[in-house]
Structure 1
Amino acid sequence: MSILKAKRFWKEAKPAETDSGWRVELDGRPVRTPAKTLVVLPTLELAREVAAEWNAQEGEIDPSGMPFTRTSNSALDKVAVQHDEVADMLAEYGDTDLLCYRATSPQELITRQEEAWDPVLDWAAENLGARLQTGAGVMHIAQSESALIPLRQMVREMDDFRLAAFHDLVGISGSLILAFAAARDYADIDRIWQVSRVDEAWQAEQWGVDEEAAEQAEFKRREFIHAKRFYDLCG
């Protein structure tokens, strides 16, 4: 059975200011999410990115080429209706953060993890008020409530749009701390991505590059960079 795809029906997409933010209009008609929510964005810069994606469509609409529209839809249709639940789910990563679980061997990998991850944990202690503990192996490392509470509060304080982007920063990196590091410009976003991939880089050096895994990693890298860009454009 064939599935009919939507085709471009508008001549121009452009931002339009409203009392509550910026919407994107297609020949004067406002864009809505898949759940029919009116798309109202927090900044003109974000609205311009969304409008540019609609203007770039030719013939059949390709959602895969509209990342800013997709993340905006997620913010409005998914995050907005369960903000605290999403925030608390992401905050739980602090209790199982990637940066806290270290290799037991070989020494070169242990050293690489220390050199890449310890400075970020030190930054988090100083700038987020959260000192997370580390350990070797895969056994759960219990973190103190004094460290987790401020992290949870900061995530909860994000608006729906920032939280949608933050969701991807956390999920892709596997680290709440690296997501905060990305959001707060601890380092260049590509550097933060590399920090999240210490183990994978080590494995590739030992066993060679798996082409399928490399393609998946590149897709994730682009999504990580997009999430950072979306977060920044929220104001």
Structure 2
Amino acid sequence: MSEWKAKRFWKASEVIAAEQGFTVTLDSRPVKTPGKRALVVPSRGFAEAIAAEWEAQEDQIDPRMMPFTRTANAALDKVALQRAEVADMLADYGDSDLLCYRAEQPRELVARQAAQWDPMLAWARTALGASLQARSGVMHVPQDRAALARLRDRVHALSDFELAAFHDLVSLSGSLILGFAAAQDVETSRAIWDISRLDELWQAEQWGQDDEAEAAAALKQIAFEHAKVVFDLSKPQF
């Protein structure tokens, strides 16, 4: 039995101004989220990206090809309803941040981690006011509570739409600091993604590339770079 898919029912999509942002209409009917909320986003650019996704649908609607729409739905139907819990979950990454857990050997890997990860921790001390300490090994050692509190406050200050995008920047990279670095344009999203994969790239150099693992990583990279675009489009623009 074939899977049922919704069919295209509109002729044209349009971006229009709405209260607190912009929305998309399909033949003059406003798009709603799966939770039946008005799909209103903070910037025209965000709405235009969503409209382009709807316009690109042909006979059948394929949600897999609509990442901007999905992220907007997540912000409105999920994050907005439990933003404190989402923010706390992401802030918790700071106490076990990827950048803080270092290899003990070989020396080449230790040196590479220091070269790529130390500058990010130094940036966090200056720009975020949070000093996180690196440790050798994988055993958890709590970070300074005051530093974690400052990072938590910054996460909670994000808007619902920024938080939805920030979720992927942090969870995909495994690092709260890299999530902030991507959001604040410390490096390109591609460069930050590569920094997050330092250990994997090292292993591939030593033992050869795993095609299946690389294919999975490529999909995550696309999602990471998409999240950065959404974060930028989540700044209100009227």
What TM-score do the two structures reach when normalised by structure 1? 0.98
Deviation (angstroms), 1:108: 0.4
The one-letter code of the counterpart of 2:142 is: A
The one-letter code of the counterpart of 2:55 is: N
The one-letter code of the counterpart of 1:55 is: E
TM superposition outliers: structure 1 runs of 4+ over 3 Å: none
Q: Equivalences for 1:183-202 in 2 at 5 Å?
A: 183-202=183-202
Q: Distance in 1 between matches of 2:208 and 2:60?
A: 40
Aligned to 2:145: 145
Contact 1:169–1:228 at 8 Å: present in 2 too? yes
Q: Distance in 1 between matches of 2:19 and 2:213?
A: 46
1:13 counterpart = 2:13: yes
Q: Equivalences for 1:68-107 in 2 at 5 Å?
A: 68-107=68-107
1:48-69 deviation per Cα after TM superposition (whole angstroms, max 9, x unaligned): 0000000011111111111100
Aligned to 2:155: 155
Contact 1:5–1:60 at 8 Å: present in 2 too? yes
Q: Distance in 1 between matches of 2:220 and 2:13?
A: 29
Q: Distance in 2 between matches of 1:2 and 1:34?
A: 23
Aligned to 1:230: 230
Q: Distance in 1 between matches of 2:46 and 2:59?
A: 24
1:64-112 deviation per Cα after TM superposition (whole angstroms, max 9, x unaligned): 1111001000000110000011000000000000000000110000001
Aligned to 2:165: 165
The secondary structure found in structure 1 opposite 2:7 is coil
Q: Equivalences for 1:168-183 in 2 at 5 Å?
A: 168-183=168-183
The secondary structure found in structure 2 opposite 1:16 is strand
Deviation (angstroms), 1:20: 2.0
1:34 counterpart = 2:70: no
Two-structure CA RMSD over aligned residues (Å): 0.7
Aligned to 1:221: 221
The secondary structure found in structure 2 opposite 1:116 is helix
Aligned to 2:23: 23
Aligned to 1:134: 134
Deviation (angstroms), 1:37: 1.3
Pick which of 75-84 and 13-22 moved more: 13-22
Q: Distance in 1 between matches of 2:134 and 2:228?
A: 26
Q: Distance in 2 between matches of 1:126 and 1:139?
A: 27
Deviation (angstroms), 1:10: 0.7
Q: Distance in 2 between matches of 1:53 and 1:126?
A: 39
Deviation (angstroms), 1:153: 0.4
Q: Distance in 2 between matches of 1:61 and 1:113?
A: 44
Deviation (angstroms), 1:2: 3.2
The one-letter code of the counterpart of 2:194 is: Q
Aligned positions, number: 235
List alignment gaps of at least 5 residues for structure 2: none
What TM-score do the two structures reach when normalised by structure 2? 0.97
The secondary structure found in structure 1 opposite 2:25 is strand
Q: Distance in 1 between matches of 2:184 and 2:77?
A: 26
Contact 1:134–1:141 at 8 Å: present in 2 too? no
Q: Distance in 1 between matches of 2:204 and 2:13?
A: 44
Deviation (angstroms), 1:14: 1.3
Same amino acid, percent of matched pairs = 57
